[in-house]
Structure 1
Amino acid sequence: MKKITMMLLMTGLLLGATACGEATGAGKNTATTATSSQTQLPPTVTVTDGEGNKVEVATNPEKVVVFDNSALDTMDQLGVGDRVVGAATDNLPSFLAAYKEVESAGGIKEPDLEKINAMQPDLILISGRQKDFKEQLTKIAPTLYLSTDNTDTWHSIQSQIQSIGAIFGKEAAAQTAIDTLQTKIDSIAKQASASQEKALVLLVNEGSLSAYGAGSRFSIVHDTFGFAQADEQIEASTHGQSVSYEYVLEKNPDVIFVIDRTQAIGGDDSKNNVAENKLVKETTAGKNDKVILLDPAVWYLAGSGIESVDIMADNVAKAFEN
């Protein structure tokens, strides 16, 4: 943030003389804009956290530690990424790679409390992976827990974007981003409905498969992007329903969306080529070349920020390319 200096010198009126000094023209204009912007913001704003609680947060924080990649994504898109002083830098999606330059605040599942304390942040943003540390982090700085409601995905994501916008006085930009995404989502949902194709979402981890349906971690495919389910009985679970390749053939989806967890976090993904499995090749999706690999880092490590939702929309739209 630009540092602006303005000096105003006045003698007593009884002496009958006044004098004042001016900053440079550019600095003066910036000072007026900055002062005006800050005076328009209330000292605090009430936002909704990931548990539906109303939380009062100081506006326009200067130093923020961010563990939630989706929140980092939204801050970046709203132009306040320069406020980030710490993040879980070892687990960033490629589109947030620039933030590897900020100081590490610990692992994505285990914040480094000592380092975070030394950073003296004004605000800490966390997600479910750090929820167990919320009480300890709150002792360091105000901590806002953000998460997505898998039963109402898009509305929940909008709430997160709006909350971050409100904290930084970027409500208009946040709403513009939401409106742009809404247009894209509506177009995809219309195509998905018209196609009448049924989709199956699979997470593959070192050869093992888990299926996800409505109300689960990747329910955005169904409740937001509008794809019908190949199996409406999938157990709603954070970790998905463990399934076999025989199950995939039995359900015979028209489209298979694959998230490679191993690739997202690093590891041996040599057994993860779902499209090449002989049973998958017998499905309608396999025969029509509609086994679609989703961006694993975005879907597994982010998923509810402005840019990540845009990337996810582009990913699922590949179902209409053939």
Structure 2
Amino acid sequence: MLRGAGFAALALTAAFTLSACAPGAEANEEQAAPAETTVTITDNHGEVEVPVNPERVVALDNHVFETLDEWDVPLVAAPKGIMGTAWPDYTDDAEVADVGTHREPDLEAIVAAQPDLIIGGYRFSESYDTIVEQNPDAAVIEIAPRDGEDPMEELKRETEILGQIFDREDEAAEITSELDQSIADAKQAYNGTDSVIGLITSGGKIEFAAPVTGRSVGPVFSALGLKPAIEQQAEDTSHGDDISVEAIAAANPDWIVVLDRDASFAEPEPGAVPADELIAGSEALQGVTAVEQDQIVYLDSDFYLTEDIQAYTELYEQLQEAFAGA
């Protein structure tokens, strides 16, 4: 009996051993392996270890709201004062704490939200050191486009980093691919010779958005190889530079691309006038080719709030359609 029991036990042990060595066993072990809980990304300051799919996220950078909203990423706090009505999933949600605006930030609201991840930067870049100090248990990153780098490549980089953090790398690749395609299509539609001027309107004034370095419209020149109607470096990269309607008329651009800052806000600045009234309705500009031929492209009304990869993709698609129809 003892010998038989010993043999049976030995046989059972051998069976388990063979089973463990079976071809499918290793694969099952791999399938059972836990998913990565953190990922090391390189932000604007260096390498940072951040949680994958963090549960409590604070976002302060306008460039990321659209992507996070598309991916159904909940936020525990956001700067509702500079979000307008573009992201109601966040601004209308009472559970999302209001960080206010970059001019009057409520940084204590971030602390109270007990975040795992804080996506700072852009308008909130001056608060970075304070945010890091006040939230020692959170990963704090800044991934907004960096000065001196190609703006479109920076938007793609930002999207790819978000894809790593939220385990959405395929979706991030699709978003960046759509931007590349929209640029290629707009380039193909542009004839390469028409002159273009970028303008910003606000508070009843027209400002000049310098090629390449000007706010919002500037990067479009380098991305599409547009011919500037006026060659000039930006003095004010945020709000645009002074320009007279006479100077615009003298430049006689074939195309005008316009950002209406006031259109982004439910309560525009005092003296605000719609961009089309300021430009198409200007008596001094009636002889300008762009006005005569109705070759004026107005950016989406929320563009000043967003300036994200989706906004630029839509703008390039808009320009492609305009150029192709001219």
State which of 63, 85, 91 in structure 2 corresponds to 1:100: 91
Alpha-carbon displacement from aligned partner over 1:82-115 (angstroms, at most 9, x marks no partner): 3x12212233254423222232422231331222
| Pairwise CA distance, 1:42 | 5.0
Identity score, percent: 24
Aligned: 1:302 with 2:306: yes
Matched position secondary structure for 1:209 = strand
Q: Which residue of structure 1 aligns with residue 187 of structure 2?
A: 189
TM-score, normalised to structure 1, is 0.79
1:242-261 map, 5 Å: 242-261=242-261
Alpha-carbon displacement from aligned partner over 1:57-84 (angstroms, at most 9, x marks no partner): 232211111121221112223x1423x1
Structure 1 unaligned residues grouped into runs of 5+:
1-34
| Pairwise CA distance, 1:292 | 2.1
| Pairwise CA distance, 1:37 | 10
8 Å contact 1:64–1:85 — kept in the other structure? Answer: yes
Q: Distance in 1 between matches of 2:261 and 2:31?
A: 47
Aligned: 1:202 with 2:206: no
Q: Distance in 2 between matches of 1:309 and 1:235?
A: 20
TM-score, normalised to structure 2, is 0.78
Q: Which residue of structure 2 aligns with residue 177 of structure 1?
A: 175
Mark the CA change 1:214 to 1:251 in structure 2 (over 3 Å): closer, same or farther.
same
Q: Which amino acid aligns with 2:83?
A: L
Aligned: 1:154 with 2:149: no
Q: Which amino acid aligns with 1:45?
A: T
1:40-119 map, 5 Å: 40-49=35-44, 53-77=46-70, 79-82=71-74, 84-92=75-83, 94-102=85-93, 103-109=96-102, 110-119=104-113
Alpha-carbon displacement from aligned partner over 1:163-200 (angstroms, at most 9, x marks no partner): 111111211221122112211220111212x2522211
Aligned alpha-carbon RMSD (Å): 2.4
Report the count of equivalent residues: 281
Q: Which amino acid aligns with 1:87?
A: A
Mark the CA change 1:124 to 1:37 in structure 2 (over 3 Å): closer, same or farther.
farther
Alpha-carbon displacement from aligned partner over 1:146-171 (angstroms, at most 9, x marks no partner): 32246511111111111111111211
Mark the CA change 1:47 to 1:232 in structure 2 (over 3 Å): closer, same or farther.
same
Q: Which amino acid aligns with 2:69?
A: D
Structure 2 unaligned residues grouped into runs of 5+:
1-29
Structure with the greater alpha carbon radius of gyration: 2
Q: Distance in 1 between matches of 2:114 and 2:222?
A: 40
Deviates more, 1:125-134 or 1:138-147: 138-147
